[in-house]
Amino acid sequence: MNDTRDTGLPFMKMHGLGNDFVVLDGRARAVALSPGLVAAIADRRRGIGFDQLAVISAGERGADAHLTFYNADGSASAACGNATRCIARHLMDEAGKSALALTTARGALQAVDAGGGLTSVNMGQPQLVWDEIPLAEKMETLELPIEGGPAATGMGNPHCTFFVEDAEAVPLDRFGPRYEHHPLYPERTNVQVASMIAPDHLRMRVWERGVGVTLASGSSSCAVAVAAARRGLTGRHVRITLDGGMLDVEWREDGVWMTGETAHVASGHLTPEFLAGFQ
């Protein structure tokens, strides 16, 4: 990261329903990240603070851009739905486009301007087979042999969804870490608790692996919608109320589409002094 020694490192701060991100643009200048630097930026008192960090890289094979994601503990993540929506909105505004093709470790994703300030992203087809999620051993994924019978879903990252009577009543700060590290999930897992409001409306709260309790999560919302549809609790098009607001999720033939608001809060620079300990 020698190119940041004198000028610092530009960043953008964004959020989708309070699910917040630091975004680095690596298209014009190289961005080198270590787990230690990622975790330092994530520190809400000594750094900037975020649920996930994303790096924008030049697109390949016809894509407008490639996105790479990191959790607050410095670990990598293949998918982050709300960050994808936030960055898609930024890139569409920048290029004057109403649709984009993006790539991530999850694969190729489509993003479109949904009107009214809303942004939609197709998160791809869910992974429903045990070794794709992945789980530690072969089993059915609709109801795991775990107390509470949660569903397992992959959205480029693993999810464990508990359907409960009242999502508000679950002590998520204790419940989440208990299952994030469950032996059935060799790569750890995101944990959701969801309850029914109506046949087309769910209340969901989330514990994100490597992060903790978050106000919202796009990939978790997609996983919950898929699990609810598979169980016959809902149809394939639902509203999901999270701590930070509302997302619209629809499981279509071409993938799971997620629509909601985004916000670009600020732009700034990480100082050379801050970066010096990581060069």
Residue-wise pLDDT tens digits, 180-228: 999 999 999 999 999 999 999 999 999 999 999 999 999 999 999 999 9
Label residues 155-186 b or e (16+ Cβ within 10 Å = b). Answer: bbbbbbbbbbeebeebebeebbeebbebebbe
Between these two residues, 6 and 64, which has the higher pLDDT value?
64
The DSSP result for 131-190, as a single string, is TTTT-SS---SSS-SSTT--EEEESSSEEEEEE-S-GGGS-HHHHHHHHHT-TT-TT--E
Residue 111 and residue 64: Cα distance in Å, rounded?
Answer: 10
Residue 278 confidence class, pLDDT cut points 50, 70, 90: confident
pLDDT at 219: 95
Judged against a pLDDT cut of 80, whether residue 6 lies above it is answered with no
Which tokens belong to 164?
């409960």
Encoded amino acid at 69, one letter: F
Q: Is the pLDDT of residue 5 over 50?
A: no
| Averaged pLDDT, 10-15 | 97
Going by the annotation, the residues of the binding site are 19, 52, 71, 81-82, 157, 190, 208-209, 218-219
- Report all structural domains of the chain as residue ranges with CATH numbers, in order of start: 2-123+262-278 (3.10.310.10), 151-253 (3.10.310.10)
pLDDT in tens, 117-163: 999 999 999 999 999 999 999 999 999 999 999 999 999 999 999 99
Asked if residue 279 has pLDDT above 80, the reply is no
Percent of the chain surpassing pLDDT 70 = 97
pTM assigned to the model: 0.90
Q: How confident is the model at residue 7 (pLDDT cuts 50, 70, 90)?
A: confident
Positions at the binding site for substrate: 19, 52, 71, 81-82, 157, 190, 208-209, 218-219
For the cut 90, the answer to whether the pLDDT of residue 3 exceeds it is no
For 237-277, write each residue's pLDDT tens digit: 999 999 999 999 999 999 999 999 999 999 999 999 999 87
Q: Which amino acid is at 113?
A: D
For residues 182 and 189, give the distance between their C-alpha atoms in angstroms, rounded to a whole number.
8
Burial level of 220, CB count in 10 A (0-12/13-18/19+)?
Answer: buried
Band (37; pLDDT cuts 50, 70, 90): very high
Q: Comparing 205 with 5, which gets the higher pLDDT?
A: 205
* Catalytic residue IDs: 80
Rounded CA separation 225/236 (Å): 7
What average pLDDT score do residues 83-90 get?
A: 96
pLDDT at 156: 92
Answer whether 206's CB lies under 8 Å from 19's CB: no
CB 237 within 8 A of CB 256: no
**Residue 99 pLDDT greater than 50, yes or no:** yes
Two structure tokens written together for 128: 């429903």
Which of the four pLDDT bands, split at 50, 70 and 90, describes residue 53? very high
Give pLDDT, residue 32: 87
| Pick from 130, 132, 156: nearest CA to 67 | 156
**Residue 30, pLDDT score:** 85
Q: What is the pLDDT of residue 60?
A: 84
Q: Hey, which residues does 53 pair with through a beta bridge?
A: 22, 70
Measured distance CA(262)–CA(88) in Å, rounded: 10
- Which tokens go with 256? 């799971």
Q: In whole numbers, what is the pLDDT of the chain averaged over residues? A: 94
